Structure formats: C-alpha cells, structure tokens
Structure 1
Amino acid sequence: MTSTPFSLLMHMAGDAGQAEIFSADAAIETWLAAERALALAQAEVGVLTDDDAGAIARAAVIENIDEGRLWASAKNVGYPILGIVREIAAALPEGPNGRVHYGATTQDIMDTGLALQLKASLQLLDGDIARLGDRLAGQVEAHAGTVMAGRTHAQQAVPTTFGATLATLLAQLTRQRTRIAQALPRVAVISMFGAGGTSAAYGPRAEEIRGRMAAHLGLENVDVPWHVDRDGLAEFGWLCASITATCAKLARNIVDLSRTEIGEAFEPYSPHRGASSTMPQKVNPISSELIIGLAGTAGALASSLLRIQEAGHERSAGEWQIEWQVVPQLASLAGSALQEAFVIVDGLRVDRERMRRNMELDGGLVLAEAQMIQLADALGRERAHDLLYAASTRAREYGQVLADALRDVAAAAGLGGMLPSQLVKAEDYLGDAEKICRTAVRTWAKTPALEAAVVPISGLAAATAATGVSA
C-alpha cells in the first residue's frame, strides 16, 4: 500500500478510536469475520459440513493474510475480496479450500464488514456524546443562575443565563443520541444477496443462511438487498456531519464570547496554550478553531452523500468508491470534534462579573424589552414600545443610561407620573431560564444508552467462539 497524505487537521485533532475502527487492519478483520460467519451459517443449515466450516473459520484470521500480496491483488482487481478469498484458501487443504466465500459476491463481504465498522463507530460516538453530555449538564447546573446578555443578530437582546444558553446545546446532544439509537438498526445491517441481489448462488437456504450469519455478527437481518440503495450510508454520514455541527455550535459561541471586547467565557488555560509565535499576549481558542475546521470539512464531504444514492441497477459504477473515501472521514471528523469539545467543556472558564458589566454597555439597553413589558399594563404594548424606542435612541445619542433616558422621554411626553419607582432589573427578567436548565438536565439524564457491542472489532477474531466451532 502507498502511504496516505499527511493531514495536519487530523494530526492535530484526530480521534484514535475512530481511526482504529476504520483502519486497514480493522477492515480486513471485518471481511474475515464475514467469511467466517458465512461458513458457519452455511454449516448450520447443511450447505457446508461442520469440518469444512471449522477449517475455514480457523484459516480466516489476519495472521494468514499477506497484506502486501492482498493489496497488490486489490489494486489489480479493483476490490480486495478476491485476494482475501485466495489468502484464506491458501491456508486450507484440498476440499475446504473450495468452500470459502461459497455463493457470495465481493460486495456481500465488504458491505457486511462495513456494517460492523459503522456499528462500532456509532457505539463509540454514542459513548463520547454520553460523556460530553454528562459534563455539559454539570456546567448547565453550575451556571443556571449566571446572568448574562442574550444575543440576537450578534447584538445584546435580553437578559438570560449562561446555563440557559448551554442547555440548548445539551438538548442538541440529547437529540443526537436519539438519532444514533434510531439509525443503528438501519445502518448495522447484513448484506448477503449475491451478485445481482437475488441470492441465487446461495441456494434454497439463502434466507436462513443470511439470518444465522447476521446473528453470528450481531447485525440486523433484512430481506431486501441494499447493494445499490445507500440511504443508510447517507444517514450515517449525515449524522456524523450533524454531530460535528453540534460541536461547532459550542465552539462558535466560545470564539465569540472569548473575544477581547466581550471576555465572558474562555477555553482552558495552560502555559503557551494557544500562544502566538510573535504576539506574547495571545491565548487563542485553539480547540474551538479545530472544531470549526472539522465541522466545515464534514459539511463539504456530506455533499457527496447524495451522489452515493445515485447508484443504478444492481451494482454501482463509481458511486461506491465515493463511500470508501468519505464515510471513514466523516466518522473521524465527528469523533475528533467530540474530543475537542471535551477539552472546552472540562476546562471552561467563565467570568461572571464581566457578563454583568457587559450588560451595562450601551447604557444598559439590554433591558429595553423588560422595561417595555413592565410599562405595557399601564400604557398598552404599542405605546410602551414607542416610549422605549425613543428612550433607546436618546440613550445612544447622548450617552445616557437607559433608565435616565426613559425618564426624560416620559417626562417630555407628560407620562413621567406613570413610570414605576423601580424599573425592572436583569435578574427580574429571566423568564424560564432556570427551568429550562433543569428540564434540559432532567431530559438528558433519561436518555437511554446503546447496548454494548456484541462483537467489537478488536474481538472479531474470537467471533466464532460462541458457535461451537473452534477458531
């Protein structure tokens, strides 16, 4: 095999777990697992003898694969499974060597192997999201009452709490876990339908073979082929891209809130973290920057997912190859974004005092809606709106505090006597912010976890142990 191009982005932020799942050795392990499970399933229904199936199961291990020869063959053939079959057969005596891959086609083995990888990938992503959500829930609870300016269109809008802004992100993570649980049975699916999708070469026991094979591998069984129907793969890829975008939501807010002019929330600090080679003062939000880069890359790759669904007839002619490049990258990008999000959430630094001071900027206009609602009972909403609009304009024009500008405008309009003695303050206008925090945390805590992998990729060599046939 030739070496892959160096990726600075993945070198800086790569997820080792996803990289291992989609490594060359892992791919080979999944193909071998598919071949073992096929032989065992065929023996169970009488297509192969127990002796032949046992011999195949013992031979179909990575120690018997000459990877140099395998990849040279794959480059010549266009696919790796012919080489895999010959490597297994070469380790067998006459007889069982002619029963390897019996009735199967290349894509049966590759798609089944891919399904094992996708299952492991989703389980790893779910576990990472679970840990991230638990840590984020702690921050939501800690800052449920930390008052800050809510922002719309990048401008201060109304008071909120930092916990409430984080609660919306926690709700996103809750939905992502639900999506993973829903997608898993559509993605972790057996593919054993033969060359044209009719299962003809498997014989009259094809359906039973497929079901038993799925059970051996811990995959879902289906009765309709998906060789060229790749919506499940597209769903997986979109889900990975969406997870990176969820992390980017956190990252974008941290980038903005850590700006010198705002200075409200920051990534963790350690000596020279985010340092500049020339500007000694810099503490750049490097994890957030990596996440934004990962998410942007994932979004661009996701555009190819529609193309893989175009595959026609009973076998694609190029669309399949798109998956080989894009699907592992999307999984790695999602895993990497989650790893960097851990860094941010675990080491999050919050300046509560700066948040309060920032609400006094621009004369405290962040309280304009609050004061309008306070006056609406007495003046009516539209009249109160007009009064606060005029007061806001005056406050900006003359550099006044909003409360003083409101009193001046009200007096000029002959409404001074209608103003309350105490105008509403930020902490009095938080609505359901704290309730939102409690609800987000409570809903998160109820999110069920995925079951552990039946046959993790790292243990695929032992997949036949429970079948009664020694591997």
Structure 2
Amino acid sequence: MSIFEGFLSTSETLGAFSDRAFVDAMLRFEAALARAQAAEGLIPESAAHSIVGSCKVELFDVAKIVRESGRAGSVAIPLVKALREAVGLFNADAVPFVHFGSTSQDVIDSAMALVTREAVALVETDLAKAADALLRLAVQHAETPMLARTLMQPASVTSFGFKCAGWAAPLVRSRIRLREAAKHALQLQLGGAVGTLAQMKGQGAAVRGRMAKELGLGDPGATWHTQRDEWVALGCELGLMTGSLGKVAVDISLLGQYEVAEVAEPSEPGRGGSSAMPHKRNPVASMVAIAAAHRAPQRVAALLGAMPQQHERALGAWQAELAEWPQLLMSAHGSVRAMAGALPGLQVDAARMRANIDRLRAELPRDAADEWFDPALAVNAGQTALAEVKALQAQLSSNKELSQ
C-alpha cells in the first residue's frame, strides 16, 4: 500500500488483507481440513491434533513465506512447506497428512473468502449508516425548496428531500444486492483436482460440508476453481456501490462550492484544511468517494477480464484476479466509510437554497419564474420523496437479514 493509497482506504480493510491476516486465514483452512478429515476417518486423530496445534500464525515467519511465494508461484506452497516443518517438530508421523487431499488454489480461494467476508461486513455496516442518514435527511427536508439542475444549469424547483431520496435509493438497493452476492460468493473451495478428491475415498463432500460449517462459509456442492461468476458478481456489486457513492459525493461537492453554498460536509479541527490557504474547507469525504469511483471500474474490469480461464486451473488469469481483489475492497470501503462519516452530519443551508431560487426568479420573465421556479413546487417533490422513502424502507424490511 503506497503513501498515496492509505488515506483512500481504512485501517480495518488494510488489516483484513494484510500478509499476516491472509496467512492466518490459510492456516484456519488447514486446521479445518485436518479436523474434518479426522472426523470422517481419513486421517488419524493424533495427526489432526498435531496439525491443528501447529496452525498458529505466530509460529510462522510471514515475511519469509511472502518472499518465497514469488519463486514458488503461489503463497500456498511455502506456507504448506513451513506447516509441514512445524508439524514435523512434534509429530513426524503427522507430516504426510498436512494439506492432505487439497490444492494450492483450495487454500488460497478459501482464505480469500474468509478475509473478504470480514471486509464485506465492514462495507455493509458503513453502507447502512450512509443510506440511513440519507433517508433521514429525505424526511427532514422533504419540502425544503432547492434548485434542480440538469446539464449543470437550473431546471426547476425540487426539494432537498427529493434529492436525498434519489441519493439513497441506489444505496438501499446495493445493501440488498451486496448481501445476496456475498452469500453466493463467499464459499469454501476444495477438491480442485480429481486426484485430490480421490484421495478422500468418497468422503470429499462430507469433508467439504464440515469445513464450510466450521469456517462459516457456504458449501458450493462442487469445486469452482475456474468458475468465477459468483465471485466476480460480488466484485461488480462493489463497483456499482462505489459508483453510486461517487455520484452522491459529486453532487455534494458541487452544492458545497462557495458560489452555491447549499450544503457542507461536517466541520471539525484538522478536517479538510489547506497547506497554504487557512480559509479553505475541502470536502475530503467526497474526495475519497470520488477517487474510489474513478479507481473501482478498472478493478472490476480486471476481474471480468480474468474470467476466461484455462481448463481446470488458470495460468495467469486467476493470479491477476487475486492481485486486483484487495484493491477493489480497499477502495470500496474507503468510499463508504468516508460517506458514512460525512452524511449524518451534513450541513444543509435551507436559507441559501431559497436565496438561490429567489435570485434566479428575479432574473427571469414572470411567467417562466412562476411555472418552473415557484418554491411551492417543493411540496409535490416532498410528497414524492416521502413515498420513495417509504418504499425503500419497505424493501429493507422485506429483507429479514437487513432489517434485524
């Protein structure tokens, strides 16, 4: 992570995809594999006990494993080698059962699902905060008159509540779709090669089911090594969410310009300052969200571009996907965290909104001013906004997982 990317993400997401966290996730996979195979009678209980006891990240030189992954072509290879060495120190007889019946992609895909689950949970929490803040603003300002603008020019009178409801709607839909996409994508990977499944003597499905339950991942019922549709669908949903947040951020930054001055991000010491101009209040939350909206499309495109994978195991495409995935999550969470922090305290200047309407009315012919820029038009916009808020809340309520 470069100095130019750190402030565009969050410490939590950076931590979720850190080298140590990923190695820990791989070790959790290996421990679950040993426990499940012992439960199905495929390996001795004593071997499983030794393997599980050695699957502790603090026992390993994570930096060395990462360094050696370049030469091996996979981070799983030096990890499994180090795990076998660790197990062998206490129980040499258990070494042949380390990583038994599994492949490098099994452990890496499953570990990626584990760390992604943590990151997606962070995204979902902040997405709910951002959407809820907008729904509250929509109700609070349902009939607050403001200028609607099309093609960057005044178009008619609307209400700020109507605008907030329009901002909220894609975020509510993202909450629903993201939860559904994650359910399908965050699944265990096991048995990429027919030979490894054969090692499990017909117990592969039972082992997979036990592991999925222990790790809290879905049981896909089969391997999905080169079937990346569900995984990439989650990436697409993250990209859509980031784009929707970027749209909100663009509008807020435009409405916050000095010449408009209708809204402003929350003010606090050290936030949005300038190195040369002490009078400035830069909209830094919007900046982060807009930056993410610029970066996410390239990440999503890379995921889509990596989908044509060769036969049962990809050469190059899967590896490219792995490199892009954390960057997408880091941008997505940086965006939603920034907006979740700004929207609840968004400063709305209703008087300025009205003044901008009045100034425009004074410059127009009377008939045009009365037809398109009568502040009373905000009443109808407010009714529409309240109806949309009610519909959006009903959508969330119908989704039991999100309403709890």
Find the counterpart in structure 1 of residue 152 from structure 2: 154
Counting only pairs closer than 5 Å after superposition, residues 247-396 of structure 1 correspond to structure 2 as: 247-270=245-268, 273-363=271-361
Task: Identify which of 366, 382, 385 aligns with 1:402.
Answer: 366
Distance 2:18 2:59 in 1: 18
Whether the 8 Å contact between 2:159 and 2:382 is mirrored in structure 1 is yes
Structure 2 stretches lacking a partner, 5+ long: none
Find the counterpart in structure 1 of residue 187 from structure 2: 189
- For residues 348 and 30 of structure 1, do their structure 2 counterparts lie closer, same or farther at Cα, with a shift above 3 Å needed? same
Q: Give 1:428 shift.
A: 4.5
Q: Give 1:276 shift.
A: 3.5
Distance 2:373 2:174 in 1: 38
In the alignment, is residue 440 of structure 1 matched against residue 404 of structure 2? no
CA distances 1:408-441 after superposition (whole Å, capped 9, x unpaired): xxxxxxxxxxxxxx99932256425234235425
- For residues 400 and 243 of structure 1, do their structure 2 counterparts lie closer, same or farther at Cα, with a shift above 3 Å needed? closer
Distance 1:297 1:248 in 2: 11
Find the counterpart in structure 2 of residue 12 from structure 1: 7
Find the counterpart in structure 2 of residue 427 from structure 1: 376
Distance 2:373 2:346 in 1: 31
SS in 2 for 1:327: helix
Whether the 8 Å contact between 1:197 and 1:227 is mirrored in structure 2 is no
* Larger deviation, residues 177-186 vs 116-125: 116-125
CA distances 1:263-311 after superposition (whole Å, capped 9, x unpaired): 2111122456434344454322222122111210112222212111011
Find the counterpart in structure 2 of residue 57 from structure 1: 52
- For residues 351 and 197 of structure 1, do their structure 2 counterparts lie closer, same or farther at Cα, with a shift above 3 Å needed? farther
Q: How many residues align?
A: 397
Distance 1:61 1:173 in 2: 39
Structure 1 stretches lacking a partner, 5+ long: 365-398, 407-421, 452-471
Find the counterpart in structure 1 of residue 40 from structure 2: 45
Distance 1:159 1:147 in 2: 7
* AA partner of residue 328 (structure 1): P
Let me know the Cα RMSD of the aligned residues. 2.5
Distance 1:450 1:129 in 2: 14
Whether the 8 Å contact between 1:188 and 1:219 is mirrored in structure 2 is yes
- For residues 430 and 150 of structure 1, do their structure 2 counterparts lie closer, same or farther at Cα, with a shift above 3 Å needed? farther
* Larger deviation, residues 308-317 vs 224-233: 224-233
Distance 1:284 1:103 in 2: 55
Distance 2:103 2:368 in 1: 80
* AA partner of residue 17 (structure 2): F
* AA partner of residue 253 (structure 1): D
Distance 1:172 1:271 in 2: 32
Whether the 8 Å contact between 2:147 and 2:157 is mirrored in structure 1 is yes
In the alignment, is residue 72 of structure 1 matched against residue 67 of structure 2? yes
Q: Give 1:405 shift.
A: 8.8
Whether the 8 Å contact between 1:19 and 1:332 is mirrored in structure 2 is yes
Find the counterpart in structure 1 of residue 82 from structure 2: 87
Find the counterpart in structure 1 of residue 139 from structure 2: 141
* AA partner of residue 103 (structure 2): T
Q: Give 1:33 shift.
A: 0.8
SS in 2 for 1:91: helix
- For residues 362 and 137 of structure 1, do their structure 2 counterparts lie closer, same or farther at Cα, with a shift above 3 Å needed? closer
Q: What TM-score comes out, normalization by structure 2 length?
A: 0.91
- For residues 334 and 423 of structure 1, do their structure 2 counterparts lie closer, same or farther at Cα, with a shift above 3 Å needed? closer
SS in 2 for 1:151: strand
Find the counterpart in structure 1 of residue 29 from structure 2: 34
* AA partner of residue 366 (structure 2): L
SS in 1 for 2:376: helix
CA distances 1:132-152 after superposition (whole Å, capped 9, x unpaired): 222222222221121111122
- For residues 231 and 362 of structure 1, do their structure 2 counterparts lie closer, same or farther at Cα, with a shift above 3 Å needed? same
Q: Give 1:20 shift.
A: 1.4
* AA partner of residue 434 (structure 1): Q
* Larger deviation, residues 237-246 vs 36-45: 237-246
Find the counterpart in structure 1 of residue 99 from structure 2: 101
- For residues 165 and 314 of structure 1, do their structure 2 counterparts lie closer, same or farther at Cα, with a shift above 3 Å needed? same
* AA partner of residue 183 (structure 2): P
- For residues 85 and 281 of structure 1, do their structure 2 counterparts lie closer, same or farther at Cα, with a shift above 3 Å needed? closer
Find the counterpart in structure 2 of residue 207 from structure 1: 205
Which entry has the higher C-alpha Rg, 1 or 2? 1
SS in 1 for 2:156: strand
* AA partner of residue 386 (structure 2): C
SS in 1 for 2:147: strand
Distance 2:183 2:38 in 1: 26
Q: Give 1:161 shift.
A: 1.0
Distance 1:149 1:405 in 2: 12
Q: What TM-score comes out, normalization by structure 1 length?
A: 0.78
Return structure 1 stretches of 4+ with deviation > 4 angstroms. Answer: 447-451
